[in-house]
């Protein structure tokens, strides 16, 4: 235990998810503070003899994985992934629909998720919501060319749009060289329809709405760890 209860919860779900990895698997390695605990736990299992290959969703996760001895691969060698473990910014109760991408890796995260037989989401119970959008903006990755036009059209869908900037005030650039527009829609009643509408905007590369992709959510709270499956 530490003096940071949130970190303790993230560590608990990280250990639980890392235990799902078996010898010979191809594993998608998520991005973010919770996924970092999974990578650390898997590094320890590698030192104990576990053999698998990882496909990271960001340069940050790749660097951490190499540092703890995890062998990395790519889609050229492994076009299908057995299991991906990643965090989320919001998890909708019942459906397990997600908002992801506040860490800036949403495009790679969705590519990896789409190629995975199983997507396991790990989080603390603060991420559970009745409806997506209750607390979190939807990140939308867009081409730097013409992003203003994409922002205008996202606004017409009902979003309050803010270009993401780094701590220095400079426009944030993803690992793929794109921009992110943080789009606050408020409560999202029809997330699947909104995902489609966002995807139809020219200049949009991908959104942080992950609809119907999660197969399991491992959630930690004061009462312990609870597993959720889509209903």
Element (H, E) at 207: strand 204-207
Same domain, 45 and 110: yes
Tens-place pLDDT, residues 99-156: 999 999 999 999 999 999 999 999 999 999 999 999 999 999 999 999 999 999 999 9
Q: What is the rounded average pLDDT of the residues 88-100?
A: 97
pLDDT number for residue 222: 87
Residue 67: C-alpha distances to residues 36, 63, 70, 71, 72 (Å): 12, 6, 8, 10, 11
pLDDT at 106: 94
CATH number, residue 152: 3.30.70.260
Residues whose CB is less than 8 angstroms from the CB of residue 48 and which lie 6 or more positions away in sequence, other chains included = none
Question: Above 60 in pLDDT, residue 1?
Answer: no
Q: What would the two tokens of residue 114 be? A: 């789409």
* Residues 149 and 88 reside in one and the same domain: no
Percentage of the chain modeled with pLDDT above 90: 95
Range of the domain at 174: 138-207
Q: Is residue 106 assigned to a domain?
A: yes
Q: What is the pLDDT of residue 2?
A: 52
Same-domain pairing of 199 and 113: no
Structural domain contains residue 231: no
- 21 HSE (CA, 13 A, CB side): 29
Per-residue confidence (pLDDT) for residue 160, from 0 to 100:
98
Together in a domain, 15 and 120:
yes
In this structure, is residue 187 part of a structural domain?
yes
Domain count, the chain: 2
Are 112 and 181 contained in the same domain?
no
Q: Are 55 and 21 in contact (CB under 8 A)?
A: no
6: confidence class by pLDDT, cuts 50, 70, 90: confident
CA dist., res. 139 & res. 143, Å (int): 13
User: What is the average pLDDT score of the chain?
Assistant: 96
Residue 4: the pLDDT is 74
For the chain, helix, strand, coil in percent to 5 are 30, 30, 40
* pLDDT of 38 above 70: yes
Name the pairing type of β-strands 71-72 and 53-56: parallel
> Mean pLDDT throughout 45-50?
98
Q: Is residue 217's pLDDT more than 60? A: yes
| Structure confidence at residue 7 (pLDDT) | 86
Q: Quote the CA–CA distance of 42 and 78 in Å, as a whole number.
A: 19
Residues 146 and 120 in one domain: no
Over residues 32-56, the mean pLDDT reads 97
pLDDT greater than 60 at residue 26: yes
Percent residues over pLDDT 70 in the chain? 99
Query: Is 109 marked active-site?
Result: yes
List, for residues 167-180, the tens digit of each pLDDT value.
Answer: 999 999 999 999 99
Do 148 and 57 lie in one domain? The reply is no
Quick one: tokens of 2? 């530490």
pLDDT tops 80 at residue 5: no
Residue 37 pLDDT > 60: yes
**Shared-domain flag, residues 81 and 122:** yes
**pLDDT-derived band at 3, boundaries 50, 70, 90:** low
Q: Which of 90, 92, 109, 141 is catalytic?
A: 109
Rounded distance, CA 148 to CA 150, Å?
5
Q: Which residues share a beta bridge with 141? A: 180, 206
Backbone Cα Rg of the chain: 17
Position 68 pLDDT exceeds 70: yes
Domain annotation covers residue 230: no
């Amino acid at each position: 235990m530490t003096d940071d209860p949130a970190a303790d919860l993230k560590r608990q779900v990280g250990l639980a998810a890392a235990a799902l990895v078996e010898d010979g698997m191809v594993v998608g390695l998520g991005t973010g503070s919770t996924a970092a605990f999974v990578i650390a736990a898997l590094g320890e299992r590698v030192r104990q003899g576990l053999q698998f290959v990882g496909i990271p969703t960001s340069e940050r996760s790749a660097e951490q994985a190499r540092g703890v001895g995890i062998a990395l691969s790519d889609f050229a060698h492994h076009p299908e992934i057995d299991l991906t473990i990643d965090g989320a910014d919001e998890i909708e109760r019942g459906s397990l629909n997600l908002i992801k991408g506040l860490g800036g890796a949403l495009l790679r995260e969705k590519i990896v998720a789409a190629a995975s037989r199983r997507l396991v989401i790990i989080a603390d119970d603060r991420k559970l919501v009745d409806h997506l959008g209750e607390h979190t903006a939807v990140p939308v990755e867009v081409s730097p060319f013409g992003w203003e036009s994409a922002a205008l059209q996202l606004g017409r869908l009902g979003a309050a749009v803010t270009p993401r900037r780094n701590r220095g005030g400079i426009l944030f650039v993803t690992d793929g060289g794109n921009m992110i527009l943080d789009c606050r829609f408020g409560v999202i009643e029809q997330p699947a329809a909104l995902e489609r509408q966002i995807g139809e905007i020219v200049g949009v590369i991908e959104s942080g709405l992950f609809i119907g992709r999660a197969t399991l959510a491992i959630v930690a709270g004061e009462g312990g760890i609870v597993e959720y499956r889509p209903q």
